[in-house]
Structure 1
Amino acid sequence: MQPILQSLEALQGDLREALAQQDWEAIGALDLRCRELVGEVGKSGDSALREPVEALSQLYAELQLTARQERERIASELTRLNQSKQVSRAYESLG
């Protein structure tokens, strides 16, 4: 159990750091590692690991919220860029 607990704690720290830096590639790689580790926790059936897994679940909720906000920010930025291009084209066709 101890190695799994240490791995959960390390993974949570790595995910928090990647989230703080908004390093989406690292988060994607850590997500795969997380899935494998949670699978191991499920196989172990150790109830002592419940709390760290719940903390990891809360972190995932935070990651999802941040990712959704970032996606919306980028979509908004792309919309503004597209509108600017359309306006520019309209002016070019008049000139």
Structure 2
Amino acid sequence: MSQAMQQLNETRAALAVALREQDWQAIADLDQACRAQVEHAMGDAGRDEQALRETMEQLLAMYGELLAACRQQREAIGEELATVRRASQGAKVYQLFG
């Protein structure tokens, strides 16, 4: 396995850990590293096409999990924001009659 492929696999594993821990800053940093590593792996003249395809499929699956987690997080934040807005409106009504 080439150095570029090994780095991609290590980054994918680190992304999985960061996702489990919901470390969004680490995910952002690892995403940037992953992009550079993909470019490097694609440009590697001696690359193993089959290994590269398998690694890319694994990355695709990881990014699918990341997207699902982001959507879920966005929905949770939206619900929390709606709750805060309702509470704020209730407090304003209470102040008017209090």
Question: Which of 79, 82, 93 is matched with 1:76 structurally?
Answer: 79
Measure the CA separation in 2 of the matches of 1:39 and 1:68: 27
Identical positions, percent: 37
More deviation in 80-89 or 40-49?
A: 40-49
Measure the CA separation in 1 of the matches of 2:11 and 2:18: 10
Gaps of 5+ in 1: none
**Which residue is 1:3 aligned to?**
3
Measure the CA separation in 2 of the matches of 1:58 and 1:40: 20
Q: 1:4: how far off?
A: 1.2
Q: 1:56: how far off?
A: 0.7
Gaps of 5+ in 2: none
- TM-score of the two chains, using structure 1 as the length reference: 0.94
Q: Does 1:52 align with 2:62?
A: no
Over the aligned positions, Cα root-mean-square deviation in angstroms equals 1.2
Measure the CA separation in 2 of the matches of 1:77 and 1:42: 42
- TM-score of the two chains, using structure 2 as the length reference: 0.91
Measure the CA separation in 2 of the matches of 1:51 and 1:44: 16
Q: 1:85: how far off?
A: 0.7
Q: 1:25: how far off?
A: 0.4
**Which residue is 1:89 aligned to?**
92
